[in-house]
Structure 1
Amino acid sequence: MSRAVVYEMFGGPEVLELREVSEPHAGPGEVRVRVTAAGLNPMDWGIASQPGVAARFGLTVPSGFGYDFAGVVDEAGADATGFAVGDRVYGGALGRAVADFVVVKTPAGATEPLWHTPEDISDEVAATLPVAGMTAAAALAAIDLRSGDTVLVGGAAGGVGVFAVQLAKLADAQVIGTAAQGTFEFLRQFGAEPVAYGPGLAGRVRALAPRGVSAATDLFGTETAEAALALGVPPERISTIAAGPRPPGGVRASGGIDASPNAMERISGAILDGTVTVPIAATFPIERIRDAVTLQAGRHVHGKVVITLRPPLH
């Protein structure tokens, strides 16, 4: 037997249960990963709490939980390619990442990403990268961010935001990030000029950037996108990740699936050379999954929340 976090009804953290489940095994063209760390994302508890969101991802109850994971390959099925037993890896497994084992297809037929973990990146850091890193890269690519831009980043202190801010700085853009007052110093660590979100946002941004804003990405809702439109930013240079399929004013909807094929290689390389850092706000053992999701769902976390898993007992 092995353990997995599951839920049988939609709801808040209270519906999540750590249960013993049948141990999965790698089939043809698959590898099994012994999970050591799983990074949490807002979409995880959004799926678990809202049937409509779950349906958009093709999930229903009962279901497993989470997407981002890191660990070690401990089984390889016949015809599995690119990965071998003993390889450290990280990737995505929709609705089943917070578990002792995850089975994923290898690249020949992969529908979910799997990468080798660089030697100098910990499993805890690697487990934060798939959703947040790829989403940030896609959101910036959608607006064709370039050197000399002044970019407004909505939700800059969140899990995706800290990647977007740093990637924008690497592109030699000036970054203004919306955030709560209590996160201003945190954002300044990454080179962003913070601005309070809420009513009057466009006016506050105008005061910070009298020469104007040339691009924007909204990582939480539509407030930043609407402010950017009010500031005269062209719709094609504004992206959103959480505004649904029809964001306001014709701005671009984006998501991690839209990231370029080499986006993760660039992000992991930037982590290795120290130009991107990954703030981990808190780690919790899998037994405290409800506490971890409660903390993250409060949206006051500066950085990422990670679940850690000890090796399963046999």
Structure 2
Amino acid sequence: MKAMALQRYGTEDSLREVDLPEPKVAPGEVLIGVRAAGVNPVDWKLAAGGLDPVMEAGFPLVPGWDVAGVVEAVGFDTPEYRVGDEVYGYIRKDWAQNGSYAERVAASARLLAPKPASLDWARAAGVPLAGLTALQAIRRVGVGEGDTVLVHAAAGGVGSFAVQIARALGARVIGTASERNHDFLRSLGAEPVVYGEGLVRGVRALAPAGVDAVLDFVGGGAAEQSLPLTGGAERVASVADAEVERFGGHYVWVRPSTDDLVELGGMAEAGVLSVHVEHELPLSEAARAWRLSKEGRIRGKIVLTV
């Protein structure tokens, strides 16, 4: 099968199209014919060796933890799925090697859920990692009805989902983004502010009493900068800055969850969760996708199609 892979740690320039053996399908797994694979910053960070201290990697390394596709084969004792089922998932394993930047990938049934019928392949592939991250971060700080939530990098992949999920829970959302993305945030139901210098003043202008919770999806000290706006660090979460734990906040690392994927799919079906795909590129252009991701100016998601 065709796949995009690296022979050693490197950058997007190290990605090559290769022919690899068909994946083996273990008990409890299914073989997925990949229709689309979501691109996330963790893909190129992993490829550069950024996760080497905490995760084993094998080579050739096929990146990609987001997938949407069709079940082509079923392993022993996997009653959840049949050949022909449409699925999506966050297929992170305990080590990195056989990812979704490929024509086919084997994945455990516990990492998958039925693909929402309302989403096409590209949009479905854009949901799992970013959507799960947003949902789990929101739960960690207990966002609910009547809360005012500050979302950093609100126009990005994770942030745009967090805005919509928080709004669906009945929260008011203030989101940081560059001015070019302010209309996009308004369309999602958020009140935009410009990030950087003057952030606290800008948020106070909208919410004089401050905010109930902070969700940081950008890093660079944004969580700590927001502390004066909150009632306490226990309602501050970051997915980009482990230092948040130093002052009592939460560092969130997304976990695979079929139940959470089903919940996100239900939101999509109900029309309260949309997926903005900024760039839809063929698998062979994975290197270009990484370059775009590294620029850090993406609205929503980048997706590779197979």
Shorter-chain TM-score tier: over 0.9
Q: Return closer, same or farther for 1:265/1:212 CA change in 2, 3 Å cut-off.
A: same
Contact map agreement 1:30 1:77 (CA 8 A) in 2: yes
1:214 to 212, 215, 223: 212
Of residues 76, 97, 102, the one that matches 1:99 is 102
The separation in 1 between residues aligned to 2:230 and 2:132, in whole angstroms, is: 28
Take 2:289 and 2:127, find their aligned partners in 1: how far apart are those partners? 18
1-structure distance, mates of 2:131, 2:293: 17
Superposition deviation, residue 175 in structure 1: 0.7
The Cα of 1:61 is off from its aligned counterpart by: 4.7
User: TM (normalized to structure 1)?
Assistant: 0.90
Could you say which residue in structure 1 is the equivalent of 2:295?
298
**Aligned counterpart in structure 2 of residue 266 of structure 1, from 259, 263, 271:** 263
Q: In the TM superposition, what is the alpha-carbon distance from 1:258 to its structure 2 partner?
A: 8.1
Please state how far the C-alpha of 1:60 moved relative to its aligned partner: 5.2
**Structure 1 unmatched runs, 5+:** 108-112, 310-314
Summarize the Cα distance change of 1:233–1:43 in structure 2 as closer, same or farther, 3 Å threshold.
Answer: farther
Aligned to 1:74, what secondary structure does the other structure show?
strand
Contact 1:92 1:130 in 2 (8 A): yes
Between the aligned partners of 1:230 and 1:182, the Cα distance in structure 2 is: 27
Determine the structure 2 residue equivalent to 1:38.
Answer: 37
How many Å separate the matches in 1 of 2:30 and 2:256? 25
Question: How far apart are residue 23 of structure 1 and its match?
Answer: 1.7
Check conservation: 1:282, 1:304, Cα contact below 8 A: yes
Partner of 2:250: 252
Superposition map of 1:121-140 within 5 A? 121-140=119-138
SS at match of 1:98: coil
1:153 and 2:151 matched: yes
Measured against aligned partners, the alpha-carbon deviations of 1:22-74 in whole angstroms (never above 9, x if no partner) come to: 1223233321111010011111111112x232432332554111110111111
Name the counterpart of 1:115. Answer: 113
- Aligned-pair distance for 1:200? 2.8
Q: Tell me which amino acid in the other structure corresponds to 1:191.
A: G
Query: Which residue of structure 2 aligns with residue 176 of structure 1?
Result: 174
Query: Do residues 81 (structure 1) and 89 (structure 2) align?
Result: no
The runs of at least 4 consecutive aligned structure 1 residues that moved more than 6 Å come to none
Aligned residues: 301
User: Cα 1:52–1:280, aligned 2, differ >3 Å: closer, same or farther?
Assistant: closer
Unmatched 5+ stretches in structure 2: none
1:46 maps to amino acid: K
Instruction: After TM superposition, give the deviation of residue 251 of structure 1 in Å.
Output: 0.5
For 2:117 and 2:202, the matched residues in 1 are separated by: 44
Q: Contact 2:31–2:107 (CA<8 Å) still a contact in 1?
A: yes
Distance 1:215 1:246 in 2: 13
Structure 1: how far apart are the matches of 2:9 and 2:162? 31
2:62 counterpart residue number = 64
**C-alpha distance in 2 between matches for 1:216 and 1:303:** 20
> How far does residue 197 in structure 1 lie from its aligned partner after superposition?
1.2
**2:290 maps to 1:308:** no
CA contact (8 A) 2:223 2:244 kept: no
